Amino acid sequence: MLPTEKLQSLHDEFLQLRELISDPANMADAKAYRVMARRYRELSDVIDCWHRYTKMEEHMDDAKAMLEAETDEDMIALTREEIVHLGDEMEKAELQLRELLIPSDPNDEKNAIVEIRAGTGGEEAALFVADLYRMYTYYADRKKWKLSLLSSSDTGLGGFKEVIFQLSGENVFGTMRFESGVHRVQRIPVTEAGGRIHTSAVSVAVLPEAEDIDIDISDNDLRVDVYRSSGHGGQSVNTTDSAVRITHIPTGLVVTCQDEKSQIKNKAKAMKVLRSRLLDMEISKQEQEIAQNRKAQVSTGDRSAKIRTYNFPQSRVTDHRINLTTYNLDGFLAGEIDEFIDALKTAWRNEKVNS
């Protein structure tokens, strides 16, 4: 049975919001108006689906009444077919409606800060960080998102110890959130003369980009240090104190940035990352509380969980959370990851529906 009382309440809220957003006086507060407009769009999908379901219910009642009154065998057969078809469509609509009734995460529409770090495997892990960075760059191009590099620490051999970048666009965090975790790579390193397959690991953390209103940071809680950049070349390296290190004293979080020649720009980038990490800590606390009551199939909070394996000899990619495998590794690393993203979203929604 559908939650009729809840749906009626949402319908009343929908009508109220429609009046509010059509009133020019409410446009003065841009932030509040955006919140109302976003909620109105969410409710529009719910109400449209509910209306479609109720119309099918009416047609079903009519068809059943016709079946009881009908005496013509051909019409009886046609009516029974219609009843079966309507039943299938109503089942699909009910499932869609239950999915739409799942409370949306307000962070899903935020931009994302993505951090990729080399784990076990030395230089081979650092090279795979570069591979994943390129993969997400290609994926961002496909989604028409903007990618901005915030910080990087290269090894000089084509790899990275760490890469941090921002993705801006539509529903970025809601799409990328399931990439958080340990990505394992199995391949023969370029430095391996014996042809043996090595296993390395890289960690990916996807954080919702925090706005000023999300996290309040006191200047007294920060220690800001400046120092000279270090790297493998460039006119600004080791010539000016442009690199910035920010320590958040209450939590001990440390963020560094040295990619820009300007100390001001490096500080701004470092603060962007720090805010997002602090917001992520708050979200992780909430997820841990939820996880105590419900074991999640598709984890987004446990960054130590091995989520995916990239096997180069077999050209295989396997996501261990949903047991999904593809043998198109080259395409996957070229940014063709929608199949996995969509499957993870579906599994997460199904989990929510059934919980």
3-state secondary structure 278-334: HHHHHHHHHHHHHHHHCCCCCCCCCCCCEEEEEECCCCEEEECCCCEEECCHHHHHC
Q: What is the pLDDT of residue 16?
A: 93
116 and 82 housed in the same domain: no
The better pLDDT of the pair 183, 286 is held by 183
Q: Is 188 helix (H, G, I), strand (E, B) or coil?
A: coil
Please report how many Cα atoms fall inside a 13 Å half-sphere around the Cα of residue 264, on the Cβ side: 0
Same domain, 289 and 246: yes
The answer to whether the beta carbons of residues 118 and 161 sit under 8 Å apart is: yes
The reply to whether 270 and 212 lie within a common domain is yes
Q: Domain containing 122: what range? A: 106-354
Count of domains for the chain: 2
Amino acid at 219: D
**CA distances in angstroms from 66 to 55, 56, 82, 91, 286, listed in the order given:** 17, 15, 11, 21, 53
Out of 69-78, 202-211, 231-240, 310-319, least confident range: 231-240
Give yes or no: residues 81 and 51 share one domain.
Answer: yes
Give pLDDT, residue 294.
Answer: 41
User: Residues 33, 175: one domain?
Assistant: no
Mean pLDDT in residue range 122-140: 95
pLDDT(11) > 90: yes
244 and 130 both lie in a single domain: yes
Query: How many angstroms separate the CA atoms of 33 and 203, rounded?
Result: 38
Mean pLDDT of 80-97: 91
- The reply to whether 92 and 226 lie within a common domain is no
Q: At what angle do helices 30-69 and 4-21 cross, to 10 degrees?
A: 140
Identify the residue with better confidence: 337 or 266.
337
What's residue 296's pLDDT? 47
Amino acid at 54: T
Confidence bin at 234 (pLDDT 50/70/90): very low
Report which of 101, 85, 251, 233 is spatially closest to residue 154, judged by C-alpha positions: 233
pLDDT at 90 over 70: yes
pLDDT score, position 289 = 53
For residues 315-323, give the mean pLDDT: 95
Average pLDDT, the chain: 84
The residue out of 100, 115, 138 marking a domain boundary is 100
| pLDDT in the model for residue 328 | 96
The pLDDT value given to residue 138? 97
What pLDDT was estimated at residue 332?
97
CA atoms of 355 and 352, how far apart (whole Å): 5
Neighbouring C-beta atoms of residue 110, cutoff 10 Å: 22
pLDDT in tens, 256-301: 888 777 888 888 888 888 888 887 777 777 556 545 444 444 444 4
Beta bridge partners of 153: 162
Listed in sequence order, the DSSP H helices in the chain are 4-21, 30-69, 73-100, 123-143, 172-176, 263-293, 329-333, 338-354
* Boundary residue ending a domain (46, 70, 100): 100
Confidence of residue 239 (pLDDT cuts 50, 70, 90): low
Instruction: Out of 67, 100, 133, pick the residue that ends a domain.
Output: 100
Average pLDDT of span 173-197: 85
More confident residue, 301 or 313: 313
Percent of the chain with pLDDT over 70: 86
| CATH number of the domain residue 117 falls in | 3.30.70.1660
Regarding whether 157 and 270 lie in a shared domain, the answer is yes
Across the range 4-26, mean pLDDT stands at 91
User: Measured in whole angstroms, how far is the alpha carbon of residue 62 from the centre of its chain?
Assistant: 44
pLDDT over 70 at 161, yes or no: yes
| Residue 299 sits in the same domain as residue 176 | yes
Looking at the structure, do residues 9 and 123 belong to the same domain, yes or no? no
